[in-house]
Amino acid sequence: MIKAGIIGSTGYAGQELVRLLLGHKDAEIVWYGSRSYIDKKYAEVYQNMFELVDAKCLDDNMQELADKADVIFTATPQGLCASLVSEEILSKVKIIDLSADFRIKDVKIYEEWYKIEHKSPEFIQEAVYGLCEINREDIKKARLVANPGCYTTCSILTCYPLVKEGLIDPDTIIIDAKSGTSGAGRGAKLDNLFCEVNENMKAYGVATHRHTPEIEEQLGYAAGREIRLNFTPHLVPMNRGILATAYASLTRDVSYEEVKAVYDAYYGKEKFIRVLEKDVCPQTKWVEGSNYVDVNFKIDPRTGRIIMMGALDNLVKGAAGQAVQNMNLMFGEKESEGLELVPMFP
């Protein structure tokens, strides 16, 4: 059995990790970490876990946890994992960090966009960006994985094949993305109150959202050079889901069949990426509660541009599901173990 510890188990992503790991045949949760609920029964924090989890919440003592677990998930705000990790800890246990602490390779860019000092920059180059469908082989050998976020996973996977094949000019990419409110976390915030969110839709972080450099960096690897793009997120009144619509200029005339063949070449054998049939647009409802990403595209010959679309569940493939997928790769498990989740409807 893989012994797993979760630091930040009472946030939305942490609770989703608990839900998924409880259904994993080869994993056992040995630590339910939560600084806010120390000594409180986990099932009192999340009543859906009544008679499923008997454990009490513990603190975020990574040093102690490293002696008890095989893998540590850190579902915490930016800065915490970087402040706790050390060479001694990494010599004992693998870490999958759901924050952004190790996603961006240039520490100056991280500090500029996140407005905090990085506490362990010596591990940034070692950390593997945990986008399984792209970095699978590196993840298998990693001891520290930077689990991508929901916006970035959806945006990168939607655009990646066409950037990699040079069919679009990556500097012309504009990404318009929408997220459900769970993406903002469980903390009490004025902007997330029911009356603020319900019957409302708004853009935020316009030209300043901190996922922008992460998307640029990863698509830049695909392009083979640095790129610049526009990313604008929106908050919509739903619990779960990410929908990304990306626009870019084509580098030459292409047919539907040619573009479809590119997507199929990259994703045709991927368990969790579904390339939809012609003219079928991705919807968040069709992936809710699952680890799937649905993608598709539409060529606009009138403007010489292409519209790329993707949808995923921000708490599953956009966070906890991807983290479990990474764990499976790191420990030689079947990649889909614990993630055979049929999307929920309605």
Active site residues: 150
- In 3D space, the residue among 337, 119, 114 whose CA is nearest the CA of residue 213 turns out to be 114
Distance from C-alpha of 111 to C-alpha of 78, rounded to nearest angstrom:
11
Amino acid 38 reads: I
147 vs 17: CA distance, rounded Å? 13
Q: Which amino acid is at 301?
A: P
**Number of Cβ within a 10 Å radius of residue 57:** 20
CA distance 71 to 90: 10
Q: Which residue has the tokens 């010599």?
A: 91
- How many other β-carbons are positioned within 10 Å of the β-carbon of residue 292? 24
Question: What tokens were used for 336?
Answer: 């889909």
- Rounded to 5 degrees, what angle do the CA atoms 288, 289, 292 make? 70
